[in-house]
Amino acid sequence: MLVLCSSALRSLELIKSMTAFKGDCRVIKLFAKHIKIKEQMNMLEKGMFHIGVGTPGRVKALVEQDALCLNATKYMILDWNWRDQKLRRMMDIPEIKKETIDLLEKSIIKLCRDGSVKLGLF
């Protein structure tokens, strides 16, 4: 499962709230704040993760560099309705909107059409 959020702080918030129910699932942080892309590439190469939580920009960059393969992804969740301090949703922020649409167009929509990925809005 892949969860896309508007910011690294929101991603961390969701990861913390998952601890109650994730059990043995392995979660990976997929955002740029304090984590270099090379570190994430190494982590993705070394292990399997059940849940990825991050920002569209970092996920898109990892997909473009072939570090993150979406073929095994079953669900993609967009953190659609959450609002930041300025009451902006994910698609109200121009940079996030562009990166999200790019990621959807280049990678996700094809997988959804094939039936291998289900897209959800949260």
For 33-82, the pLDDT digits (tens) are: 889 999 999 999 998 899 999 999 999 999 999 999 998 999 999 999 99
Asked if residue 58 lies in contact with residue 5, where contact means CB atoms within 8 angstroms, the answer is no
d(CA 112, CA 114): 5
46, exposed or middle or buried, with CB in 10 Å at 0-12, 13-18, 19+? exposed
Confirm whether pTM is higher than 0.85: yes
Range of the domain at 49: 2-121
Residue-wise pLDDT for 90-110, tens only, equals: 999 999 999 999 999 999 999
Contacts of 39 (CB under 8 A, 6+ apart): none
Specify the number of domains making up the chain: 1
Q: Is 53 helix (H, G, I), strand (E, B) or coil?
A: strand
What are residue 21's phi and psi, to 5 degrees? -120, -5
Q: 29 is written with which tokens?
A: 């942080």
- Helix 37-46 and helix 56-64, axial crossing angle in degrees, nearest 10: 60
- Which CATH number characterizes residue 11's domain? 3.40.50.300
